[in-house]
Amino acid sequence: MKRERAERSTIGRAIQKTILVAALAMAWTGLVAGAGQADVGATGPRVVAYYQARARNTYPCTQVDYSQMTHLAHSFVWPTKEGALDMSSDFVYPELVQAAHAHGVKIIVSVGGGSKSGNFAAMANDTAARTRFVRQLTSFCLSNHYDGADIDWETPTNATQSADFTLLVHELRAAFNAADPPLTTLSAAVPKSPKRAKWLDIDAIKNDLDWLGVMGYAWHGPWSKHAGHNAPLYGSTEDPDGPSYCTDASIQYYLSRQVPKEKLLFGIPLYARQFNATNLYASSTGGDWIPYAKVQQDLSSGWIRIWDNTAKVPYLMNPKHTEFVTYDDPQSIQDKCEYVAHHSLGGVILWSLGQDLYQGKTPLLDVVGSNLLGRTNVVKKLTNAATDGDKTGYVYRAYRHLNDNAVAAQTREEWVR
């Protein structure tokens, strides 16, 4: 009898714990939804973080916080005109692939990029070369244990290239599906400008792609005649380039072309740019890339931070008003994550890992992860804690936190991490 009561008690506690975990997960969903977090599809939003091959020496795979992403895009390899797959001598990085998979993160190889897209047009227009490229890329992914590929052709510029891009995407999807094992992911980085994006046959490619990542950065740079924001969320009539010069306009453009919102990813930079200019939108020279660490150094050296409430991004001016820095910070990235949630987008792409490294931490990456993946991470922790009998007391502490209605959003985010 005592044994039967003990068994019933054990079963009862297990049932109660299961109910508690479910309730906590639902409660957490409500809390983070109220905090502006996205709820896109059954698996949640994607956070696709690009990792440049050259970063392995300054930001090795052992430093990456994989909990803040769902996908890692290893960049870049590129095509030759004849359809061969080319890459730098140090590109292959098996430790990176292994580390991503060990943390439950999909890793894809990114093809092309701003400086390595020159051969796409010739390759894609030649049936034999295109077939060779599809075969070599598929083989490379399988041999090196990638989950798929991201195509970054910057960018088709006419009707012929548009049709060839469509063929390339379709043939890659067919080859990936037929691979053994199948390659599950095929995506594309797409231009922010409607003038360039008009050459994408959205209706023909959207079913073959898992997502389209809108490169919502580099709006202003060394090519600009005036200082401007690198990644404005919203446009301004004061910008000489016009009020549509912003990522919101890009997102709305792609939505108007019937890209499924869950397949549309918002591009966020983790770097900054510095101009020689007297103010925002003033005539300038420069516009060079700088890391986020330089922004922090400038702030500690007397530079003035100014918040542009129209564009929803900050900028810096030096005390002499001769230098201008455009960048993203935790506040602007929070706004962008809330934008993703509000429009039910599929997530974000980040360019690129390690560029926000400051004093051993990655503050911008952390903001993205805590906003878009916080709920997913905490439910995993709750489930694991319940499975092992709550030896760490995690479920109990979660219950106490969630019952404290006065808990601050910052505390919730620290708890998630």
What mean pLDDT, rounded, does the chain reach? 86
Question: What are residue 323's DSSP bridge partners?
Answer: 276
- pLDDT bin (cut points 50, 70, 90) of residue 44 is confident
Task: Please report where in the chains the tokens 């997913």 appear, as a residue.
Answer: 376
Residue 139's pLDDT is 98
User: How confident is the model at residue 376, as a pLDDT?
Assistant: 52
Q: Check if the beta carbon of residue 324 is closer than 8 Å to that of residue 284.
A: yes
Report how far residue 376's alpha carbon sits from residue 153's, in angstroms, rounded to the nearest whole number. Answer: 32
Residue 311 belongs to what H/E stretch?
Answer: none
406: exposed, middle or buried (Cβ count in 10 Å: 0-12, 13-18, 19+): exposed
Res. 379: pLDDT tops 60: no
pLDDT of residue 58: 95
Per residue in 251-294, pLDDT (tens digit) is 999 999 999 999 999 999 999 999 999 999 999 999 999 999 99
pLDDT surpassing 80 at residue 194: yes
pLDDT for residue 24 is more than 70: no
Q: Is residue 405 predicted with pLDDT exceeding 60?
A: no
Q: What would the pLDDT profile of 52-62 be if each residue is shown by its tens digit?
A: 999 999 999 99
Q: What residues does each domain of the chain span?
A: 31-270+327-372, 374-417
SS3 annotation, 115-173: CCCCCHHHHHHCHHHHHHHHHHHHHHHHHCCCCEEEEECCCCCCHHHHHHHHHHHHHHH
pLDDT of residue 408: 34
Q: What CATH number belongs to 31-270+327-372?
A: 3.20.20.80
d(CA 235, CA 257): 20
Calculate what percentage of the chain has a pLDDT beyond 70: 79
Higher local confidence (pLDDT), 37 or 6: 6
